[in-house]
Amino acid sequence: MKKAYWQTVMNVIKDSDVVIYLLDARFAEESRNRDVERLIKRSGKKAIFAFTKCDLAVGSRINLPSDLKPFVMVSAKNFHGIRKLKLIIILEAKKRKIKMPRVGVIGYPNIGKSSLINALTGRGSAATSSQPGHTKGKQYINAGNFMLIDTPGVIPLREKFGFKHIQLAAIPSSIDADVAALKLLEENPGAAEAYFGIAVQEDKEETLKEIAIKKALLLKGGVADINRASKLILKLYQEGKFR
């Protein structure tokens, strides 16, 4: 499946006049995909670096890579930076004398590509989901002055699952929610516990059980539903409820 995704991304870069390379403003360096960057550079296509979810990064320290320019800070939620991004695309098309430029949108799974496309078009053209890999194939969407190409999110072929995937909500489908939640608890000791008002324990599986019980996430017989508790803390973390 990964190889099929990569073939799609390579085709999108090839078919695009301009490429929007989407990154997470909260985790700028972690959301960089060096394999994609190499593909864009080799293609010689114009790249616009869009740092999304900037509304969630407010109040926190933002360190943007100095080598990624031109860049735009955007938020599909409140439309921050969307007008500027449109203007850059239109000006680039005029510079190249292209009447209807094709604009590819690429980045990690769940980075916000479909939400950005909907913000650029002003309508629900691209389906959105909180699940990585929701976009199944290449889609062409008319944005008025340009044509957008939506793609599935791609994790580098040789990249192993780690905490950065939890930060980016790009958890592979092969990784169970409880495995990711345990990793989150280990990497952010005390954060989830403080949010839920429970004691910090060495055994993080016990922590998951306590959270499940406190939030009444129970199976038959009053057994703690670890899977639902895991999904809950992952969701809350992504919403910026605790760090």
For residue 64, the domain's CATH number is 3.40.50.300
Residues 51 and 96 placed together within one structural domain of the fold: yes
Number of compact structural domains in the chain: 2
Q: Where are the alpha helices (DSSP H) in the chain?
A: 2-15, 34-43, 82-95, 113-121, 163-167, 177-187, 191-196, 204-214, 226-238
For the chain (length 243 residues), average pLDDT per consecutive 10? 67 91 86 86 91 74 77 87 93 92 87 87 55 54 90 62 72 76 87 92 91 92 90 86 79
Residue 174: the pLDDT is: 64
Residue 19 falls inside a structural domain:
yes
Residues 119 and 65 placed together within one structural domain of the fold: yes
Residue 128: the pLDDT is: 40
Residue 137: the pLDDT is: 56
Residues 137 and 202 placed together within one structural domain of the fold: no
Residues 76 and 194 placed together within one structural domain of the fold: no
Interatomic CA distance for residues 65 and 72, integer angstroms: 12
Residues 190 and 72 placed together within one structural domain of the fold: no
Residues 230 and 110 placed together within one structural domain of the fold: no
Residue 158 falls inside a structural domain:
no
CA of residue 110 relative to chain centroid, distance: 4
Residue 83: the pLDDT is: 93
Residues 23 and 99 placed together within one structural domain of the fold: yes
Residues 79 and 188 placed together within one structural domain of the fold: no
End position of a domain, from candidates 134, 150, 166: 150
Residue 170 falls inside a structural domain:
no
Residues 136 and 186 placed together within one structural domain of the fold: no
Domain extent, residue 41, equals: 2-150
Residues 143 and 209 placed together within one structural domain of the fold: no
Residues 229 and 139 placed together within one structural domain of the fold: no
Residues 181 and 87 placed together within one structural domain of the fold: no
- pTM for the model stands at 0.67
Residue 163 falls inside a structural domain:
no
Interatomic CA distance for residues 192 and 163, integer angstroms: 15
Q: Are 109 and 78 in contact (CB under 8 A)?
A: no
Residue 8 falls inside a structural domain:
yes
